[in-house]
Amino acid sequence: MSTGGRRLVGRLIALGVTGSIAAYKAVELLRLLTAEGADVVVLLSPSAQRFVGPLSFAALSRHPVETDVLDLLPDGRIGHIVIADSADAFVVAPATAHWLAAMASGLAGDVVTAAALATSAPMVVAPAMDGDMWRHPATVSNVSRLRDVFGYAVVSPEAGPLASGQSGMGRLAELPSIVDAVVAALAERPIRQPDPASRPPLAEGLIREADLAGRRIVITAGGTREPIDPVRYIGNRSTGKMGVALAEAALARGARVTLIAAAVEVPLPVHADVTHVETTAELREALATAMGLGSPGSVGSGAGSGAAAGGRRQTRSGPGAGAPDALVMAAAVADFTPAAPSERKIQRRDRLHLELSPTPDLLAEIAAAADARAVTAPAGRPVLVGFAAETGSLDRAAEKLRAKGVDLLVANDVSEPGSGFGTDTNRVTILDRSGTVESLPLLGKLEVANRILDRVATALDARDAAAQTAGAKPPSTATRGST
């Protein structure tokens, strides 16, 4: 079998991630291991999940992520034991001082330690912590026990800037040297031909090609908050899970993703360009930039823009200019905003009347602006996807699709159990302009995201084909495949 120079073809690597500030680097480590041909399955300790969410790893590894010692696979097997038994090598990166101590003592309180105790695969451990913690006699003795008694390969941390702001030993080793250590740990071992039934399952329906490579997709997520005064706001129950799942799935399929995050309660994708917003007015402004439409005023007009000030919006890395290929508007946008938010905290009193003004319909504005621009650049209209949160019936969905001028509308009944705010699952119906209605069963949000992106990918291909037939150059031709 030709491996094309890839050093981990045919290997199943368990990647354990524990709760260090360096946990986000494990996403890149997963990519590097995969690029070497490895099949990677991820286990996250509870504290690791405070830094990076399981969705990032599930979307990239295409396996369910183990997060709990009590989790069973759909077929009833114990998830972390299946990984322990089938992994060719087990790498823990970053490994915290706490994890090293638990492992040295054989305390199996989380999935990473439990699987490590249960495996006979070679172990590679890459610690990361504060310099004083690394030098502490407890850590020194734990590391030497793992190395000398257990036979683990330890990829020592390096000197450099630390999370504490100080500089010293403790930074996670450079990722290529961790990959090299995994390769070295397996050097003498023949590639096994395990029974597929004994291996960790693939995540349900997550097998997609990189069919969005070269595409840029703007996704909004979470609920907007409209200030009443400096202390209080009008908000909604959105947690941002659906929007974040869309961003993770789009990234895993090769897209460049601009994520505009309102109030989001789950970890954000590591590789997205994230713009944080709070109010509908800030979202409107961020959308105008991300969609390459200039100032919000040039998108349309309406109430709500007055609250744009306040300076709460932060940009981690700004989206590039120019129209993206698609917008997926998963954010729960306030329909009303206090007409005159108070600059000072409103005192307790017998009664309070709040005057609310309607916000502009951002999606309808974007659709109108995209239509106007499409007259001069027919190939450039982004595929627009709206959501419709309904309670009780989806009867209004078709009219919403028409009124907002979107290509696809994803409707769900948020009052149904397992569907809607804060859940890990969703039951949605996808409507399109031609009148097709696709009702999906109850699915995990990552799978729902992929089903929506399947439709976006198809719509984009149709758009490009139409543009080519019309003799126009598809807008993405220059950049496709470049990411």
* Greatest pairwise CA separation for the chain in angstroms: 79
Window of 98-106, 292-300, 307-315, 356-364 that interacts with ligand CTP by CB under 6 A: 356-364
- Which of the ranges 46-54, 187-195, 327-335, 337-345 carries the binding residues for ligand CTP, by CB under 6 A? 327-335
* Amino acid in the structure at residue 29: L
Residue 258 near residue 290 (C-beta atoms within 8 A): yes
Rounded to a whole number of angstroms, the minimum distance from the CB of residue 296 to ligand CTP is: 12
Q: What is the CA radius of gyration of the chain?
A: 25
* CB of residue 224 to ligand CTP, shortest distance in Å: 8
CB atoms within 10 A of CB 72: 11
Q: Beta-strand (E) ranges in 266-367?
A: 273-276, 314-315, 326-329, 336-338, 356-358
- Residue 373 CB partners (closer than 8 Å, separation 6+): 293, 323, 380, 381
**How far apart are CB 386 and ligand CTP at their closest, in Å?**
4
CB of 385: closest distance to ligand CTP in angstroms?
Answer: 8
Residue closer to ligand CTP (CB basis): 169 or 274: 274
Contact region for ligand CTP (CB under 6 A) — 58-66, 100-108, 326-334, 419-427? 326-334
Sheet holding 153-154, edge to edge: 39-44, 12-17, 89-95, 123-127, 153-154
| Of the residues 361, 407, 447, 464, which one makes contact with ligand CTP according to CB under 6 A | 361
* N-term to C-term CA, the chain: 28
# chain residues binding ligand CTP, by CB under 6 A: 12
* Part of the chain binding ligand CTP (CB under 6 A), chosen from 20-28, 61-69, 355-363, 412-420: 355-363
**Cα 240 from Cα 225, distance rounded (Å):** 13
Residue nearer to ligand CTP on the CB measure, 14 or 363 = 363
Which of 142, 236, 412, 426 is an active site residue?
Answer: 236
Do strands 12-17 and 89-95 pair parallel, antiparallel, or not at all (unpaired)? parallel
Between residues 277 and 331, which has the closer beta carbon with respect to ligand CTP? Answer: 331
Cα separation, 358 vs 362, in Å, equals: 12
d(CA 438, CA 420): 18
Q: How far apart are CA 19 and CA 249, in angstroms?
A: 24
Which listed range, 3-11, 121-129, 208-216, 354-362, lies at the site for ligand CTP (CB under 6 A)?
354-362
Out of 40, 95, 363, 384, point to the residue binding ligand CTP (CB under 6 A).
363
Query: Rule CB under 6 A: is residue 362 a binding residue for ligand CTP?
Result: yes
Identity (one letter) of the amino acid at 43?
A: L
Indicate if 142 belongs to the active site: no
For ligand CTP, which is the closer residue by CB, 49 or 220?
220
Could you tell me the smallest distance in angstroms from the CB atom of residue 331 to ligand CTP? Answer: 5
14, 91, 178, 331: residue in contact with ligand CTP (rule CB under 6 A): 331
Q: CA–CA separation, 227 vs 235, rounded Å?
A: 9
Using CB under 6 A as the binding rule, the residues of this chain from 376 to 435 that contact ligand CTP are 386-389
CB of 220 to ligand CTP, least distance (A): 6
Q: How far apart are CA 266 and CA 301, in angstroms?
A: 32
Q: Binding residues for ligand CTP, per CB under 6 A?
A: 329, 331, 333, 335, 359, 361-363, 386-389
Active site residues: 236
